[in-house]
Amino acid sequence: MVGAARGRIDSDLKQSLSPIQHALCRPLYTQPFFFSLLSGLCSLRFLPGPCALFCSGGAHLFLGDLSIPMSWQTLCHLGLHYTEYYLQERASTRFCITLSSLMLLTQRVTSLSLDICEGKVKAASRGIRERSSLSDHLCKALPYFSYLLFFPALLGGPLCSFQKFQARVQRSSNLCPRHSVWALSWRGLQILGLECLKVVLGKVVSAGAGLTDCEQLQCIRVMWSTAGLFKLTYYSCWILDDALLHAAGFGPGFGQSPGEEGYIPDADIWTLETTHRISLFTRKWNQSTARWLRRLVFQHGRAWPLLQTFAFSAWWHGLHPGQVFGFLCWALMVEADYLIHTFARSFIRSWPMQLLYRTLTWAHTQLIIAYIMLAVEARSLSSLWLLCNSYNSVFPLVYCILLFLLGKRKHTFN
């Protein structure tokens, strides 16, 4: 009798509460997700077009329509092209931040979509058709919306899977303040060092000639130093994004469970600066995005999966002329890299020759990456033409020739 009476009281209490209050009555599960979603909604307040961000994520969550967020992103990129190329005006900073957030939202939407298709995550829409209260629907959808609109991920940072996000939010009380302070301090020192290097290298670049007035071999030094500035900027931003995620409790070392996906930082500076293989550089550059592209495009591509992956990456980044040229060139360089190193392993045996080979290929790899980086960052056809018409084009041209010569023997190498 007492149990039945208590059940009726609980039922009456639930009916008297609003859906959001009802969701908050489940503190062990829903409250962390609710506050995570609230922080994301507050961050959208400072971005133009928050409804586009929110609706594009929600449309896929309940309707399964992946084209909606990609359509929003493509329209924003077309608007950016219209502003920069037709009106000859500089886009506002807020618009660029919104576009960047939309690109990151597309990453999480497609990652969640793949998890649902592969059976790793149960779709929130499965319970919508059942006869249940609105508060139950909100409780089921709350983790998904909080994942899509998690504010550190809207600003940047490595892509985090839904399973990892869910596990970390539910285990938020296990954070170690001392470990977090030390990790954040170390990342702050790294950012400080990178910014100091940027200042020094920036003075060197500004004091010398540019691509417009360099002569012959001098253009190689200009290309390498300018690409070094871009690299330092990327490294600094990635470490800052990583620190933001770490401060939110999503970094490494917070009691990761055995079956949980490992933490994937975007900046592996040592590997990026010391590798002699373009393919390894490609896998380590913006590592979480590289894995996302591999999972989304490369593993599902039937014909020319590598070319499809880089073409999709150019589309996702905005289809600027320099990006189209740079990413397609990057795809050819990766394909040539596989053939060249397979061929070299078959003929280079002695360690002095291997040391010489690694040194030469390291220098060639870094110069090709610098060439691609300047092409991708070029925002005008004139800048792209200056790069292609310089001595720097020799480095990717060598790999293209080797790709053509060794392509016929690919099956033999395999």
Model's pTM, two decimal places?
0.83
CA distance 123 to 46: 30
82-98 pLDDT tens trace: 888 888 888 888 888 87
Helix axes 287-296 and 93-117, enclosed angle (nearest 10): 50
Distance between CA atoms of residues 102 and 359, nearest Å? 41
Mean pLDDT for the chain?
78
Alpha-carbon 251 to chain mean position: 16
Are the beta carbons of 292 and 113 closer than 8 angstroms? no
| pLDDT for residue 369 is more than 50 | yes
Mean pLDDT of 268-292: 94
Token digits of residue 300 = 């599902």
Res. 295: pLDDT tops 50:
yes
| Predicted pLDDT at 236 | 94
The residue assigned the tokens 């990652």 is 111
What pLDDT score does 143 carry? 78
pLDDT score recorded for residue 170: 72
Position 15 scores a pLDDT of 46
| pLDDT greater than 60 at residue 35 | no
DSSP three-state, residue 143: helix
* pLDDT the model gives residue 188: 92
Give CA separation, 109 vs 53, 119, 296, in Å.
11, 15, 11
Q: Which pLDDT tens digit goes with each residue over 301-336? A: 888 999 999 999 999 998 899 999 999 999 999 999
Q: What proportion of the chain, given as a percentage, has pLDDT over 90?
A: 35
Which of these ranges, 99-108, 125-134, 164-173, has the smallest mean pLDDT?
125-134
**What does residue 354 show for φ and ψ, rounded to 5 degrees?**
-65, -40
Local confidence band at 410 (pLDDT 50, 70, 90 cut-offs): low
Average pLDDT (369-373) is 97
1-10, 72-81, 198-207: which has the minimum mean pLDDT?
A: 1-10
DSSP state of 133: -
**257 versus 372: which is more confidently predicted?**
372
Counting residues of the chain whose pLDDT is more than 70, the rounded percentage is: 72
Residue 177 has a pLDDT of: 58
Model confidence at 252, pLDDT cuts 50, 70, 90, reads low
pLDDT of residue 210: 79
Q: Kindly write down the DSSP assignment for every residue of 342-404, as one continuous string.
A: HHHHHH--SHHHHHHHHHHHHHHHHHHHHHHHHHHH--SHHHHHHHHTSGGGHHHHHHHHHHH
pLDDT for residue 126: 54
Q: Which residues are the active-site residues?
A: 286, 317
C-alpha to C-alpha distance for 154 and 273, rounded to whole angstroms:
28
Average pLDDT over every residue of 167-190: 74
- What does the pLDDT average to over 156-174? 75
pLDDT of residue 307: 94
